[in-house]
Structure 1
Amino acid sequence: MSSITSPEFLITSLIVVASPGTGALVTLAAGLSQGARAAVMAAIGCTLGIVPHMLAAVTGLAALLHASATAFDAIKIAGVLYLLYMAWAALRDRGALAVEATAPPRAAREIVVHAILVNLLNPKLSIFFVAFLPQFIAADAAQPTREMLALSAVFMAMTFAVFAVYGVFAASLRHRVLERPSALRWMRRGFAAAFVGLGVKLALVQR
């Protein structure tokens, strides 16, 4: 059986993708704040944000990153600070998390770049590619790099599909949220608390 169609790989990858995290949260926020189109753009951005981690794992840069405590901590700190900034932005109702009935639509490029940054500054993804995916590549594989790229492609496709579903579902609730100012306030507080929680969780990640 091919590693790509291995039930263990597919189920575990789906659990990893569907678990609440920064990417899922950003996509949900995009759907609530700007609608279905923005949610899909955010899902695309989160998926593209995986590419650097994948390339680092394939070229061996990820292994060097985890061998260097300084480099790992630098990326981790940058990710934590960015999550705290997003928590502040959520409370201030500005930027990517601004939810207003009359707010102008954000440019697709802005949404995608923001989502890419979220996953780019997440060292847990490089850990995933270094520690998890290689388990599904046979030790005697003729083309291990090709298999790694194929597994990564499946993981990225899952990421886009799951995040897009999350975001479009959130977009379907957008008008109900906008009609309830109190719900909107609690939603912003909830996003802020979630980003702070994710920042704390990321700060505790070890190499």
Structure 2
Amino acid sequence: MSIEFLLTTLIIVASPGTGVVYTLAAGLSRGGRASVLAAFACTLGIVPHLIAAFTGLAALLHASALAFEIVKYAGVAYLLWMAWQSLREHGVLKIDEKPDHRTARQVIVDGILLNLLNPKLSIFFVAFLPQFIAPGEPNVLMRMLELSGVFMVATFVIFSIYGLCAAGVRDKVVGSRRVMTWMRRTFAAAFVMLGARLALTER
């Protein structure tokens, strides 16, 4: 495992994006358990993209403008839905003192869908992982699985840290309705901006 791969992975995972915003929102609104669930869900959302990369579906997304646009705009629509839910104090930013099992399931479902509906992730893995596989590698598939596993572990750990840090200051912000209102607006704006960025993404 090269130092270059580990450093690149840490930079990519730690950079603010949809998963980071979602995990922070879960930690602030629902606490530490929800933030870890959100991090786990975002990590699970990577799996379909890895499968797509391994089976050639990513190449189809890259080659087919229609397929890419369909997945992309489904992702944009979901991000806008998350923004709307945030403003209405539903979804990830609904404050629950004692979240029930349905709430936990919803955190996981939303997290998976946020990553699943981003077509750039599949293409990213096709372009990213092969750079760290040595020419003449006898078992390319196993090497890609190994690198993918490290990337997923890094995603879960770093997202969990983000979420738990947010959960640590939760008690200081949830008592103020004014603060929570502005926090919901901030996360809603973040989801809108992420949706706009995805909408402007080219293959």
TM-score between both structures, scaled by the size of structure 1: 0.93
**2:179 corresponding residue in structure 1:** 183
Amino acid at match of 1:53: H
Shift of 1:124: 2.2
Shift of 1:77: 0.2
Select the residue among 176, 188, 192 that pairs with 1:192.
188
Per-residue CA deviation, residues 101-150 of structure 1 (Å, 9 max, x unaligned), is: x5644543222111111100012211220111111112311111111111
Q: Does 1:95 align with 2:91?
A: yes
**1:70 corresponding residue in structure 2:** 66
Q: Does 1:164 align with 2:160?
A: yes
2: CA distance between counterparts of 1:57 and 1:104?
36
Q: Does 1:148 align with 2:144?
A: yes
**2:124 corresponding residue in structure 1:** 128
**1:16 corresponding residue in structure 2:** 12
2: CA distance between counterparts of 1:87 and 1:155?
28
Select the residue among 1, 7, 11 that pairs with 2:3.
7
Select the residue among 48, 54, 65 that pairs with 2:50.
54
Amino acid at match of 1:28: L
Q: Which runs of 4+ in 1 moved over 3 A?
A: 102-107
SS in structure 2 at match of 1:15: helix
Amino acid at match of 1:72: F
* Identical residues among aligned pairs (%): 61
User: Which residues of structure 1 form unaligned runs of 5+?
Assistant: none
User: Which residues of structure 2 form unaligned runs of 5+?
Assistant: none
Amino acid at match of 1:182: R
Please report the RMSD computed on the Cα atoms of aligned residues, expressed in angstroms: 1.3
2: CA distance between counterparts of 1:155 and 1:127?
15
Aligned residues: 202
Which stretch shows the higher mean deviation, 102-111 or 60-69?
Answer: 102-111
2: CA distance between counterparts of 1:180 and 1:151?
44
- Residues 104 and 145 (structure 1 numbering): CA distance in 2 closer, same or farther, change over 3 Å? closer
SS in structure 2 at match of 1:132: helix
Q: Report if the CA contact (8 A) 2:129-2:147 is conserved.
A: yes
2: CA distance between counterparts of 1:104 and 1:51?
27
